[in-house]
Homo-oligomer: A and B are copies of this chain.
Amino acid sequence: MAIATPKTRRGETSRAAILGAALDLFQERGYEATTMRAIADRAGVSLGSSYHYFPSKEHLVLEFYRHTHELHLAAIAPLLGREKDLAVRLRGTIRAVVVTCEPFHAVAGSIFSTVANPASPLNPFGGAAKPLRDEVVALYDEVVRGSDARIASDISEMLPLTLWLYQMAILYFWIFDRSPGRLRTLEVIDETTDLIVKLLGLANLPVLRGSRKRLLGLIKSVVAST
């Protein structure tokens, strides 16, 4: 149960070996097909040792997430540094998500469901995964802020979190996508990012003022409860 941080060099080695073995095996065989015994075996430690550093198999997935998040950040850094158009930034960012996750496509389904479980410590709506979620939301904040789009403050306040939700939805679609090269997901991304930016532009129309205000208030109140 206790989340032990390694205090000695030997401990660090063990923890790293366990994590490395887990990441490899999740990728090779998927989450469910990877047994804790297999992880311990490959890491060269005993079964019990894994539980000294990771309270559960699910917690190993959290590290898996962090890993892909790092890859994602590295993949889009050049784009975010150079491009100013919001649609292009957003499209590139979301495309990079699915491209980065592509090697884990077969695994993603079981992982997603683990994460969707509100009882799981990995649930992104407040749990052990919150720090990582905040990082992703911060990324979308940068996607928006770094663009030359002028967005009203009431919208831009809620936009990063909404885009994070949007990313989750795309990932869920991607999980089901069996098309070659996952082309359908890429099409949906192109279409939706474009649509989102268009709608952001339309949000200033007087007729939509009322609905916009209510929608934002709704999102804010929903988020407040997490």
A153 at the B interface (CB under 8 A): no
Residues of B within 8 A of A210 (CB): 198
A27 at the B interface (CB under 8 A): no
What CA separation (Å) do A221 and B177 show in the bound complex?
12
A77 at the B interface (CB under 8 A): no
B118 near A184 (CB under 8 angstroms)?
A: no
A218 near B117 (CB under 8 angstroms)?
A: no
B225 near A177 (CB under 8 angstroms)?
A: yes
**Interface majority SS (helix, strand, loop, mixed), chain A:** helix
Contact partner, A195, options B187, B192, B215, Cβ 8 Å: B215
Q: Given A191-B214, A211-B202 in contact, is the A113-B109 Cβ separation under 8 Å?
A: no
Name the residue on B nearest A117 (C-beta).
B113
Of residues 193 to 226 in A, which have CB atoms within 8 Å of B's CB atoms? Answer: 195, 198-199, 202, 205, 207-208, 210-211, 214-215, 218, 221-222, 225-226
A175 at the B interface (CB under 8 A): yes
Contact partner, A184, options B109, B187, B225, Cβ 8 Å: B225
List 9 A–B pairs whose Cβ atoms lie within 8 Å, in order of A's numbering.
A109-B117, A110-B119, A112-B117, A112-B118, A113-B117, A188-B222, A192-B218, A195-B215, A202-B207
